Structure 1
Amino acid sequence: MERNSHFTSSSFRSLLSGIRYQHLVAGLCGGVASTLVTHPFDLIKLRFAVQDGAVTDQRPKYQGLTHAFRTIYRQDGILGLYRGSSANVVGAGLSWGFYFFFYNAFKFQAQDGNLKRQLSPLMHMLLASCAGVLTLSLTNPIWVIKTRLCLPDTESVPSHMRYKGLRDGLWKLYKYEGIRGLYKGYIPGLVGTSHGTIQFVVYEELKKTYCNYQSIPITAQLGPLTYIAMAATSKAVAASVTYPYQVIRARLQDQEQKYSGVISTIKRTWRNEGYKGFYKGLKPNLIKVVPATCITFVVYEYMSKLLLQQ
């Protein structure tokens, strides 16, 4: 009994020793910086994603990326392109912060405290999946609000259900829709954790291969262009493979069109729009996520090393 107690306390201390707040701060800074730069593309991606051709949809229809930018700017000015940006900044900052925080804590344990120990792709996949599920569970309510704030209000949405901001949105969402409302789109979001998993596995494998080729330790600080190339490649691969879940999640979180569930949404999208319906908004998404990820990873890599050195 004493040996088991000693083992448990030792394991707990070992787990705590692997927790570094620096990863949380660095990831948060990277997420905020990238979101501030690329939010307009995210907003347009969401508006394309929910544009399912329903005759009851009173929102403007966009014919392409340029037309969307011009229409929004003409109707609402530059602020219209940053509608919902507060929720997006908070959501992206917390998501990246939590993701890097959990991922590196799990990674430290898998390495038995030896940061130079290289892990297998399967282990990276497992760690990234666990970090993704935990992060989504903590941030899903923010993404529901962000989606709704980015979409234009219509007469079909009651005035008491229109949000003035993130805090007001969270309160009204919980008040009128309860816990289920806070976690709308959670199931496709869980499927979407494969996005982060693919991205991190590709990124870690690229970094490991590069370090082995250069005969340098895996913990070595690389140049910004190297980080950018790795981040861009990993994000482009992940985004292209997993994009349909984002369309499904956005439609479930939308207030205008009512979808009854994941399976129903998939069937309705396929029936009315074919496979192209699952890729609506992919172009602005790629234009947004690739540079956003590059900014996030470069800021994270440099910030984390700076904070850890101090």
Structure 2
Amino acid sequence: MSSAIKSSGTPGITPLLPVLRHCKYEHFVAGISGGVVSTLMLHPLDLIKTRFAVSDGHSRVGPQYSSLKSAVVQIVRSEGVKGLYRGVTPNVLGSGGAWGLYFFFYNSIKAWIQGGNSKKPLGPSLHMFAAADAGILTLIVTNPLWVVKTRLCLQYMDDKHLPETLKYKGTVDAIRKIYRTEGFRGLYRGFVPGMFGVSHGAIQFMVYEELKNWYNNYLNAPIDTRLNTFEYIFFAAISKLIAAASTYPYQVVRARLQDHHHNYNGSIHCVQSIWRYEGWRGFYKGLSANLTRVTPATVITFVVYENVSHYLRERTMDQERALPILIKNIEENT
């Protein structure tokens, strides 16, 4: 009986076991560290990018900004410095959790494909496959936090005309009110364009991994060789610029769908409205603020991740090497 189970497998369980075998907590902790550090440093730019993205040019809802500088000046003047950090709590939770989960899922799937051999190259297609799967799993878990973060970022001082159900005191209050007034679906607004956004992470990780592999091959070193900080910075920046420029429109659509000041019937209606009133430029609103934010954010995240993960893995390996010696000493002394 046991041999039959081993050979046939239990549907839905056995196929997961090889993947679970390659799960390493180090990637999760390192990813959270990178996400939290970069978010705390650059949240004001994320807030401004979000406000630019939902400015549709015809409804005149909320303040209008002509440039990145004017946005900072207007927000500080009307809302104080605190206004630049609206939505920072769900953003930290979302970014920290998302990066932690993303690196965890990605490296687990990648290690499973490699069969545990970290020196085995995957190639662009398999890197994109692993990154896309990791992105989908991460989005399912974190989408409610992105909805809350967007709503809080788009709360203005002159929102007194809004009903009480659309005024949020904080992260928990926002989750409670969104669920009460819009149901479970309200917490997953923007999920469809978010799925398209999975391509963003897939492109970014594919370019990043391929650049690292190419460079290590050029140096005749194993592909998992640790690089210096400047090299991580350069590869992370290039990969993010390529991914951001090619997939930015989905972020505009997602932000519009999550904004409680606008009422779209769905992703298609949102896309049609943007094209009708704003043309192709409407899909790239806030791009300059976004690139100003995401490029250093990604650099910080990846540099922190790579250094923390290498430190944790080396520490784990040292403990594994020391364990047999410790056991032997204990046996000799008993």
- Please give the TM-score of this superposition, normalised by the length of structure 2: 0.90
1:36 corresponds to: 40
Aligned residues: 309
Where in structure 2 are the equivalents of 1:137-176 lying within 5 Å? 137-153=140-156, 154-176=159-181
Amino acid in structure 2 at the alignment position of 1:213: Y
Q: Does 1:287 align with 2:292?
A: yes
Alpha-carbon distance between aligned partners in 1 of 2:67 and 2:188, rounded to the nearest angstrom: 31
Deviation readout 1:118-144 (Å, 9 max, x if unpaired): 101100011100000000000000000
Q: CA deviation at 1:12?
A: 5.0
Q: Does 1:71 align with 2:74?
A: yes
Amino acid in structure 1 at the alignment position of 2:55: Q
**CA 1:170–1:4: 2 relative to 1, 3 Å:** farther
Where in structure 2 are the equivalents of 1:20-169 lying within 5 Å? 20-55=24-59, 57=61, 59-153=62-156, 154-169=159-174
Larger relative contact order (Cα-Cα within 8 Å, sequence gap ≥ 6)? 1
Amino acid in structure 2 at the alignment position of 1:267: Q
Q: Which moved more, 1:276-285 or 1:5-14?
A: 5-14
Alpha-carbon distance between aligned partners in 2 of 1:4 and 1:212, rounded to the nearest angstrom: 44
Q: CA deviation at 1:14?
A: 3.2
Q: CA deviation at 1:54?
A: 2.9
Alpha-carbon distance between aligned partners in 2 of 1:142 and 1:15, rounded to the nearest angstrom: 27
Q: Does 1:235 align with 2:240?
A: yes
Structure 1 unmatched ranges of 5 or more: none
Alpha-carbon distance between aligned partners in 2 of 1:254 and 1:242, rounded to the nearest angstrom: 20
Larger Rg: 2
1:307 corresponds to: 312
Deviation readout 1:38-63 (Å, 9 max, x if unpaired): 11110000000000023351x11101
Q: Does 1:16 align with 2:20?
A: yes
Alpha-carbon distance between aligned partners in 2 of 1:4 and 1:250, rounded to the nearest angstrom: 51
Q: CA RMSD in A?
A: 1.4
1:198 corresponds to: 203
Q: CA deviation at 1:169?
A: 1.1
Amino acid in structure 2 at the alignment position of 1:124: H
Structure 2 unmatched ranges of 5 or more: 316-334
Alpha-carbon distance between aligned partners in 1 of 2:51 and 2:286, rounded to the nearest angstrom: 8
Identity of aligned residues (%): 51
Alpha-carbon distance between aligned partners in 2 of 1:167 and 1:101, rounded to the nearest angstrom: 26
Q: Secondary structure at the match of 1:299?
A: helix
Alpha-carbon distance between aligned partners in 2 of 1:163 and 1:19, rounded to the nearest angstrom: 37
**CA 1:121–1:299: 2 relative to 1, 3 Å:** same
- Please give the TM-score of this superposition, normalised by the length of structure 1: 0.96
Where in structure 2 are the equivalents of 1:268-287 lying within 5 Å? 268-287=273-292
